[in-house]
Amino acid sequence: MKAETISVGTELLLGEITDTNATHISQQLAAIGVDLYYRHNVGDNLQRLTGVLRTALSRSDVIVLSGGLGPTADDITRDGIAGITGRPLRRDAAAVEHLKRFFAERGRVPTESNFKQCEAPEGGKLLPNTCGTAPGLFVEHEGAWIFAIPGPPPEMREMLRLSVLPRLVERATAEGGGRLYSRVLRLADIGESNVANLLEDVIEGQTDPTIALYASPGEVKIRLAGKSPDEAAATQRLDAMEALLRERLGAHVYALDEDVMETAVGKLLRERNATLATAESCTGGLLASRVTDISGSSDYFLGGVVSYANEAKIGVLGVPAGVIEEHGAVSEPCARAMAEGVRRCMGADWGVATTGIAGPTGGTPEKPVGLVYMAVAGPGGTICQEQTWPGTRDQFKQRVTQMALNLLRKQIIADGE
């Protein structure tokens, strides 16, 4: 099945609202094996919406619209579907009674405009809304299926799950199609071009599953995907490809699917019954925040110190004043002393420290913006890594915390070997 999505609302075109609905719908359609070829944003203009619908119906089997189902004059989705299919809108008596009860239970009285939501193109079906007042629509027209679902994300997600996806799964099954099965390998300490070089022959010869590379701050993702009516067969192919990639990439693979770096580090600490403390300067607490984003992190995370000022580094972490005087706060000796100091004062098995220049100001020719030192202190001693990461302040902090966690991950693994 070929599909298109249409997000309706002028606020989307103005950038006042981010179209998260389109992303969610795309993900859900891919998961059940529906091929999404086009995505549209159209404002609250009936002529333009009709034009987009006409194009979509000429080339796709499924059209999913979100938004424009409210009771006001600029909610045009029903009118657009009615006009393009040549079916007049009819008011549904059962929907009218449901809406009256909905308002009565809340001590309110619906206006005439509210009943606009109870209308569907002739021959179409209203889809129940378990979270709000606006029903959705389902219309079959010349072999194509048209779905219209509300714009508010909670309402959209529930209606998609309960009323749209089951119909599409049933149709795909009847047509002999398969669903999409995918897996994501997460890599650290390697760039996208290096990954592509190591896997050049595999990528050139890919069939099923397909292979796609995605770069993001501090990591590279490899997405494996294949469509099949048989879950066992799809899983077998994914397993075989994953094994081949792991053989090529070795320790660069640190996690799968939704497991992020902090998840991988947390698993290692829990497995070894080890504890962690953090000392941060340039990352301003983001490292500790990422560690504690993981449920159950209290099993291994003891605490963190944001020692932004030199006085805090000296007074709280015990960094010798002479180290800062001689080498500066942004230096390897200071980073080492911070990691060792927080490990000592928290009584942790592992201490991680970051100190650097996040920018955009504050750099010098000797110590430019983007310079950072990351240190890990553990049972076997202390290691420090120097990096320079140009970019925005936010990019810098994200990359540094990713690299610091990865440095910790590698040290924990090495300590256990």
- Reduce the secondary structure of 107-123 to three states and give it as a string: CCCCCHHHHHHHEEECC
Contact 146/3 with Cβ under 8 angstroms? Answer: no
Residues in the chain: 417
The reported pLDDT for the residue numbered 147 is 98
E strand or H helix at 382, and its extent? Answer: strand 381-388
Environment class of residue 237 by beta-carbon count within 10 Å: exposed (0-12), middle (13-18) or buried (19+)? middle
Average pLDDT value for residue range 404-412:
96
pLDDT in tens, 117-174: 999 999 999 999 988 888 999 999 999 999 999 999 999 999 999 999 999 988 887 8
**In this model, does residue 294 exceed pLDDT 90?**
yes
Q: Phi, psi at residue 165, to the nearest 5°?
A: -60, -40
In 3D, which of 249, 181, 180 has the Cα closest to residue 220? 249
pTM: 0.73
Are both 151 and 170 inside the same structural domain?
yes
Are both 355 and 373 inside the same structural domain?
yes
In 3D, which of 152, 118, 148 has the Cα closest to residue 53? 148
Q: Phi, psi at residue 188, to the nearest 5°?
A: -130, 160
The reported pLDDT for the residue numbered 416 is 79
The more confident residue out of 181 and 25 is 25
Are both 252 and 267 inside the same structural domain?
no
- Judge if the upstream peptide bond of residue 128 is cis by omega within 30 degrees of 0: no
Average pLDDT value for residue range 216-229:
88
Contact 408/350 with Cβ under 8 angstroms? Answer: yes
Look at the chain and report how many structural domains it folds into: 3
How does the average pLDDT of the chain come out, rounded?
A: 94
The reported pLDDT for the residue numbered 305 is 98
Least confident of 25-39, 329-343, 372-386: 25-39
Domain CATH number, residue 222: 3.30.70.2860
- For 374, the domain range is 261-415
Residue 296 structure tokens: 């159950």
Domain CATH number, residue 379: 3.90.950.20
In 10 A of CB 105, how many CB atoms?
Answer: 8
The reported pLDDT for the residue numbered 231 is 87
Collapsing DSSP states into helix, strand and coil, what is residue 102?
helix
Are both 271 and 250 inside the same structural domain?
no
Are both 283 and 392 inside the same structural domain?
yes
Are both 60 and 201 inside the same structural domain?
no
